[in-house]
Amino acid sequence: ASHVVSKSHHVAEAPGWRLELFHKNQGDLQEKWIPFLAAHGVERVNLTMKGKEDNVARDVALLRHHLPHLHICPHFALKSHHKGRQLEHASNQFVEFCRRIYESSVREVLVVSGSTGTGAVPAVKKHDSVQALQKLAAVRHEMPGLGVHCAFNPYFIKPDDRAQERRRFMSKLQAGEGVLQGVYLQAGSDLCLLEDGLQFIRSVTKPSFQIHGSIFRPSKQFLAQMKFRPWNGV
């Protein structure tokens, strides 16, 4: 099912809403979601990565074949690609992933770290999007026009956690200079923390920097999950 609708905004132009797809496998994508997208005229989608065996680049190629004008933003989760190896391996996999989707005429990707340990903001990030952004920025001449997006959570309750999240965002901006074009905000319901986070992002980025907000399309399963183990700010 699809649980999140993302709303994009930047000062120059509002690209519009996007549908985030949570498909089970490639068969589900072809038999259920491609007809749905075509029938309802959906123009923009995000493809999530659900596990180590997912082949998002393959799904991108399938969507591009059936819906050539669809605007696709695939997700890349570094934690799904470390396979017990060093961070260097996951970062290299990210660059190769970008090359593959670029060949399918995709010009946007969302990269997220994944973390180890417990707590709101783990002290050690084994699968760090900062290094992945550095790797991609070093070869950006190979993929002109590719725009990368990172994640940001404005909903941490503790001030120290919010400060750490902001420091990481600044590190991502520096590491991804030339390729980082936008940010996806985690969905949440604390409007004060959201506005505070938006003011921070706007204060450190250019007017053209894209900010994507998320809105849940509730389902019984997802509401139960949020009740049992809610995200920060939800």
What DSSP line would sit under 134-170, residue for residue?
Answer: HHHHHTGGGSTT-EEEEEE----SSHHHHHHHHHHHH
- At 150, give phi and psi (nearest 5°): -120, 180
Q: Is 109 helix (H, G, I), strand (E, B) or coil?
A: strand
pLDDT at 124: 40
Is residue 192's pLDDT more than 80?
A: yes
- pLDDT at residue 202, as a whole number: 97
| Whole-number pLDDT of residue 185 | 93
Predicted pLDDT at 52: 52
Q: Over 70: is that where the pLDDT of 168 sits?
A: yes
The pLDDT tens digits of the residues spanning 110-146 come to 998 865 444 444 444 555 889 999 999 999 999 999 9
Residue 179 above 50 pLDDT?
Answer: yes
Residue 180, pLDDT > 90, answer yes
Residue 106 has pLDDT above 70, yes or no: yes
User: SS3 helix, strand, coil % of the chain, rounded to 5?
Assistant: 40, 20, 40
Q: Coil, strand, or helix at residue 224?
A: helix
> What residues contact residue 82 under an 8 Å CB cut-off, 6+ apart?
89, 90, 126, 127
Question: For the segment 13-71, what is each residue's pLDDT rounded down to a tens digit?
Answer: 445 788 888 888 888 899 999 999 999 999 999 988 765 545 788 898 899 999 999 99
- Give the span between the Cα atoms of 86 and 115, in whole angstroms: 14
Residue 56 in contact with residue 45, Cβ under 8 Å?
Answer: no
pLDDT at 212 over 90: yes
